[in-house]
Amino acid sequence: MFFNSIDFAIFLPIVFILYWFVFKKNLRLQNLLIVLASYVFYAWWDWRFLSLIIFSTVVDYFVGRKLRVEQKQANRKLLLWTSIVVNLGFLGFFKYYNFFLENFIASFTFFGGEIQANSLNIILPVGISFYTFQTLSYTIDVYRGKLEPTRDFIAFSAFVSFFPQLVAGPIERATNLLPQFYKNRKFDYHQAADGMRQILWGLFKKIVIADNCAIYANEIFNNSGEYSASTLVLGALFFAFQIYGDFSGYSDIAIGTSRLFGFDLMRNFNYPYFSRDIAEFWRRWHISLSTWFRDYLYIPLGGSRGGTWMQIRNIFIIFLVSGFWHGANWTFIVWGGLNALFFLPLLLTKRNRTNLGEVAQGKFFPSIREVISIGITFGLTLIAWIFFRAESVGHAVSYLKGIFSPSIFTSPELFDPRGMKITFVLLAIFLLIEWIGREGQFAIENISVAKSKAVRWSLYSSILLVLYFFGAFDETVEFIYFQF
Amino acid sequence: MRKFILNGLLFLSLFLVCNTIVYLFAQDVYHESYNKVPYKSFDSFIFADSYGMALRDYGEEYNVYNFAMASDSYFDIKRKLSYLIRNDYQINTVYIGVDNHSLSTNREHMNNLDRSVYYSSSKDFSNPLTYFKERYLVYYVAIFRPSVRALFRSYLFQNAKSLLKRGSKVKENSFDWSSLAESQRKKEAEAIIEIQFLSQNRSEELKKVLEEIIALSKEHQFELIGVKFPVSESYLKAMNNANYGADEVFVAHGIPVLNFKRKYLERDELFADSNHLNDKGAEQIIKIILNK
């Protein structure tokens, strides 16, 4: 069920009431409720894939238990590899089988061979890229001795399937989330109220910003051959805000929902479009995934230690794998490769950790230098987003060629002048709110400091009114990251 | 917890008030014209989209009730027909629009499913939960419905606009199709065709429902007749023989189709726009359709 659906609007209060009023005094039953609610939530998409998540849960639970008692290093490695093979095996088959098959056939044909093979009509289970990585973090941390394996199967199942973050993250670490299932949760008004605020802001980002931008991004990308260069730039801009509003909006709703139940999830976005360089962008965008790759792939490969070529190799591996994680298409791999290219100079010149603090901290206006840095960084990510969004590498290349043409100096074609102007205004207001609230976990977090209830509720009502009158409810736009 | 619950109840109360306002608006502006139940004295019915709606109530003197409504799809038509059957209407003849665009994939989104749910029963849905959700939740929580929201929004904005214009009335649209220049008629017809025939393929889902309607006619033994309503010459030229084949489905099942597509090609004065008859045209064609 979508977060912005009537189904979820009914599901959430029911689970909330059962959680805090019926099962409040029994931790085990509370966790069991989370498991059942999460399975209902997942089955709402497609009940057939429940078996996969349950199987993955059982395998990793028993791998963890075995790792606790197994002393022989060879056997421990074997157990770890069992978990990796099962999880990545599912992911590989459902997500990448057809991609590998088609490319294998294409290479055979390229070399003059002929091969008969049929691609399968495989449905991608929702959230598989997320929960497989989440359970892998458990087995790897247990193997490394960073985490005590759990004996509580219910708590572990709840950790794997926790519904707010099950289908599109944040990809939680076992070291952060699992211990929260062992502790008695006490209802905290401020945590819950903050959670509601974060849900509201997440819905605003998704329904007002992302879904409105999606209408124009889709039109321009789907008909890119017909539009001028300046319009193509507009299309890329719309997509940049579509994907940001969509994904960070979902994360806000997930984190806010978790807080209603007394859980704290990790932050997933930290105002990435205010980044001053690409390294900072990757510390602020999809934080749960980039830190996962850093801890479980980059550092084991040697990280930034070793010679220059090793550093270059590791950076490319990380970004290419990250691109590939997003989908079985060369466009995502090229997207990853481009980001590696942008990142590499900073790493090699040891400037990848220069912008660690908040941009324009304590001030309202950024410096000229910061504005230029933000502009350049945003421009680079925009070029990469074109590959992310395009149907194929060829489409992305022709899109870029279209941008770098004389019609860049013409006015963009506003094929829906009224709608587009409203969207521009909404984007401007959105960016202003995000800028003002950039030191908070989410942009409107600090509304809570307004002492007057009337002021706070007026602000919430204003957001709700904008959501109602300007949100793109008519177009059923799925959360982008559900397809990953 | 108490404070959270109290705030939650306050929010819920405000939400209910807003929803009630929107629901009453929807009833008045959106549902009232749709939720009509014919008298049981009628034994023949017309089902179609806006093409059939143009016939208004001209068939009533011949005991034919016009159930057609703008944007009605075969999903909506099947619900209405099932309603009549369930409520023991004496059905002799059913006329159904089978125009060239009727199986357009457009109709899978542009339809009246949120309104025709009024005529539905649990048997029209795959499970009781979905029926409950569509028939009651979605229907009564009108504030969330996209169609109602769009109407409410344009109603408010239009009123705000006229207030800002210091009471100047919004001009009524008194449009005469035949008075338009040929180039303008061609342009308008092409604009409609672009929307109606956007996809290359027809909707298999709608075709399936059309066949279910045919099955209903055989099961309940009423006569089914397909009708292709008249269109203007500009529209016919712009359409250029595009056809999703709703009429072919009828023909394949041995059901007669009355084809009036070319009936008024030289009679633009009978049209309100490129593809809808005006009152004069409706009065003429109804007698021909009903063979009077």
Residue B137: list chain A partners with CB under 8 A. Answer: 6, 10
- Give Cα separations from A474 to A210, A465, B79, B106, B163 (angstroms): 13, 16, 23, 14, 27
Q: Above 60 in pLDDT, residue B170?
A: no
Q: Which of B3, B138, B146 faces A473 most closely, judged by CB atoms?
A: B146
- Interface residues of B toward A, Cβ cutoff 8 Å, are 1, 3-4, 7, 133, 137-138, 141, 143-144, 146, 149-150, 153
Query: What is residue A483's predicted lDDT score, i.e. its pLDDT?
Result: 60
Q: Rounded to a whole number, what is the distance in Å from the CA of A474 to chain B's nearest CA? A: 5
Residue B133: list chain A partners with CB under 8 A. Answer: 6-7
Q: Rounded to a whole number, what is the distance in Å from the CA of A5 to chain B's nearest CA? A: 9
Residue B132: list chain A partners with CB under 8 A. Answer: none
pLDDT under 50 in chain A at which residues? none
Q: Kindly determine whether residue A193 and residue B7, on different chains, have CB atoms separated by under 8 Å.
A: yes
Q: Reduced to 3 states, what is the DSSP secondary structure of residue B125?
A: coil
Q: Kindly determine whether residue A187 and residue B141, on different chains, have CB atoms separated by under 8 Å.
A: no
Q: How far apart are CA A197 and CA A442, in angstroms?
A: 9
Residue B150: list chain A partners with CB under 8 A. Answer: 474
- Six-digit token pair at A470? 């300007």
Q: Which of A6, A469, A474 faces B141 most closely, judged by CB atoms?
A: A6
Q: What is the DSSP string of B258-277?
A: EE-TTTTTT-GGGEEETTEE
Q: Above 90 in pLDDT, residue B166?
A: no
Q: Kindly determine whether residue A187 and residue B144, on different chains, have CB atoms separated by under 8 Å.
A: no
Q: Rounded to a whole number, what is the distance in Å from the CA of B91 to chain A's nearest CA? A: 37
Long-range contacts, stretch A305-309, CB < 8 angstroms, 24+ apart: A308/A348
> Which of A203, A466, A469 to mutate against chain B (most B CBs within 10 Å)?
A469
Residue type, B47: F
- Six-digit token pair at B9? 């109840």
Q: How far apart are CA B177 and CA A174, in angstroms?
A: 69
Q: Are strands B271-273 and B276-277 parallel, antiparallel or unpaired?
A: antiparallel
Q: What are phi and psi of A221, to 5 degrees?
A: -70, -35
Q: How far apart are CA A416 and CA A414, in angstroms?
A: 5
pTM for the whole thing? Answer: 0.85
**For chain B, percent of residues with pLDDT exceeding 70:** 94
Q: Rounded to a whole number, what is the distance in Å from the CA of B11 to chain A's nearest CA? A: 9
Q: Are strands B257-259 and B223-228 parallel, antiparallel or unpaired?
A: parallel
Place of tokens 């409950």: B132
Place of tokens 């929960």: A131
Residue B1: list chain A partners with CB under 8 A. Answer: 20, 187, 189
Q: Which of B4, B144, B150 faces A189 most closely, judged by CB atoms?
A: B4
Q: Reduced to 3 states, what is the DSSP secondary structure of residue B94?
A: strand
Q: How far apart are CA A317 and CA A296, in angstroms?
A: 12
Q: Kindly determine whether residue B149 and residue A473, on different chains, have CB atoms separated by under 8 Å.
A: yes
> Which of A44, A185, A188, A189 to mutate against chain B (most B CBs within 10 Å)?
A189
Task: Tell me which DSSP letter residue B171 carries.
Answer: P
Q: Kindly determine whether residue A474 and residue B150, on different chains, have CB atoms separated by under 8 Å.
A: yes
| N-to-C CA span, chain B | 72
H or E stretch covering B44: strand B44-47
Is the previous residue joined to A179 through a cis bond, with omega within 30 degrees of 0?
Answer: no
Place of tokens 């649990």: B122
Q: Rounded to a whole number, what is the distance in Å from the CA of A383 to chain B's nearest CA? A: 31
Contacts A–B by Cβ distance under 8 A: 24
Q: Kindly determine whether residue B133 and residue A6, on different chains, have CB atoms separated by under 8 Å.
A: yes
- Give Cα separations from B152 to A14, A290, A473, B24, B190 (angstroms): 30, 44, 13, 11, 30
Q: Which residue of B has its CA nearest to A21?
A: B1
Residues facing B228 on adjacent strands? B259
Q: Which of A101, A102, A165, A92 is nearest to A124 (CA)?
A: A92
Query: What is residue B292's predicted lDDT score, i.e. its pLDDT?
Result: 59
Q: Kindly determine whether residue A192 and residue B153, on different chains, have CB atoms separated by under 8 Å.
A: no
Q: Are strands B223-228 and B64-66 parallel, antiparallel or unpaired?
A: unpaired
A326 is catalytic: yes
Q: What are phi and psi of B227, to 5 degrees?
A: -130, 130
Q: How far apart are CA A424 and CA A276, in angstroms?
A: 23
Q: Which residue of A has its CA nearest to B138?
A: A6
Q: How far apart are CA A75 and CA A198, in angstroms?
A: 45
Query: What is residue A60's predicted lDDT score, i.e. its pLDDT?
Result: 94
Q: How far apart are CA A171 and CA A251, in angstroms?
A: 10
Residues facing B97 on adjacent strands? B227
Confidence of residue B193 (pLDDT cuts 50, 70, 90): confident
Q: Which residue of B has its CA nearest to A191?
A: B4
Q: Kindly determine whether residue A6 and residue B144, on different chains, have CB atoms separated by under 8 Å.
A: yes
Q: Kindly determine whether residue B146 and residue A10, on different chains, have CB atoms separated by under 8 Å.
A: no
Q: Which residue of A has its CA nearest to B137?
A: A6
Q: How far apart are CA A263 and CA A256, in angstroms?
A: 9
The per-residue pLDDT of chain B, averaged, comes to 87
Q: Which of B1, B4, B137 faces A6 most closely, judged by CB atoms?
A: B137
Q: Kindly determine whether residue A6 and residue B138, on different chains, have CB atoms separated by under 8 Å.
A: yes
Q: How far apart are CA B244 and CA B105, in angstroms?
A: 10
Q: What are phi and psi of A277, to 5 degrees?
A: -155, 170
Q: Which of A102, A150, A141 is nearest to A122 (CA)?
A: A102
Q: Above 80 in pLDDT, residue B235?
A: yes
Query: What is residue A472's predicted lDDT score, i.e. its pLDDT?
Result: 83
Q: Rounded to a whole number, what is the distance in Å from the CA of A64 to chain B's nearest CA? A: 37
Q: How far apart are CA B11 and CA A475, in angstroms?
A: 27
Helix axes of B146-164 and B2-26: crossing angle, nearest 10 degrees: 80
H or E stretch covering B79: helix B74-86
Residues A271 and A434: beta-carbon distance below 8 Å: yes
Q: Which residue of B has its CA nearest to A475?
A: B146
Other Cβ atoms closer than 10 A to B7: 16
Q: Reduced to 3 states, what is the DSSP secondary structure of residue B98?
A: coil
Q: Above 70 in pLDDT, residue B63?
A: yes
Least confident of A288-297, A461-470, B169-178, B257-266: B169-178
Residue B127: list chain A partners with CB under 8 A. Answer: none
Query: What is residue B52's predicted lDDT score, i.e. its pLDDT?
Result: 92
- Give Cα separations from B38 to B41, B84, B181, B224 (angstroms): 8, 9, 41, 19
- Six-digit token pair at A43? 């089955």
Q: Which residue of B has its CA nearest to A472?
A: B146
Residue A6: list chain B partners with CB under 8 A. Answer: 133, 137-138, 141, 144
A190, A286, A326, A395: the active-site residue: A326
Q: Rounded to a whole number, what is the distance in Å from the CA of A180 to chain B's nearest CA? A: 20
Residue A10: list chain B partners with CB under 8 A. Answer: 137
Residues facing B64 on adjacent strands? B44
Query: What is residue B161's predicted lDDT score, i.e. its pLDDT?
Result: 64
Residue A473: list chain B partners with CB under 8 A. Answer: 144, 146, 149
Q: Which residue of B has its CA nearest to A193?
A: B4
Q: Kindly determine whether residue B1 and residue A20, on different chains, have CB atoms separated by under 8 Å.
A: yes
Q: How far apart are CA A439 and CA B31, in angstroms?
A: 48
Q: Rounded to a whole number, what is the distance in Å from the CA of A16 to chain B's nearest CA? A: 11
Q: How far apart are CA B108 and CA B202, in angstroms?
A: 10
Q: Reduced to 3 states, what is the DSSP secondary structure of residue B126?
A: coil
H/E/C letters for each residue in chain A? CCCCCHHHHHHHHHHHHHHHHHCCCCHHHHHHHHHHHHHHHHHHHHHHHHHHHHHHHHHHHHHHHHHHHCCCHHHHHHHHHHHHHHHHHHHHHHHHHHHHHHHHHHHHHHCCCCCCCCCCCCCCCCCHHHHHHHHHHHHHHHHCCCCCCCCCHHHHHHHHHCHHHHCCCCCCCHHHHHHHHCCCCCCCHHHHHHHHHHHHHHHHHHHHHHHHHHHHHHHHHHCHHHCCHHHHHHHHHHHHHHHHHHHHHHHHHHHHHHHHCCCCCCCCCCCHHHCCCHHHHHHHCCHHHHHHHHHHHHHHHCCCCCCHHHHHHHHHHHHHHHHHHHCCCHHHHHHHHHHHHHHHHHHHCCCCCCCCCCCCCCCCCCCHHHHHHHHHHHHHHHHHHHHHHCCCHHHHHHHHHHHCCHHHHCCCCCCCHHHHHHHHHHHHHHHHHHHHCCCCCCCCHHHHHCCCHHHHHHHHHHHHHHHHHHCCCCCCCCCHHHHC
Reported as a single tens digit per residue, the pLDDT across B87-140 is: 999 999 999 999 999 999 888 888 899 899 999 988 888 888 888 888 888 888
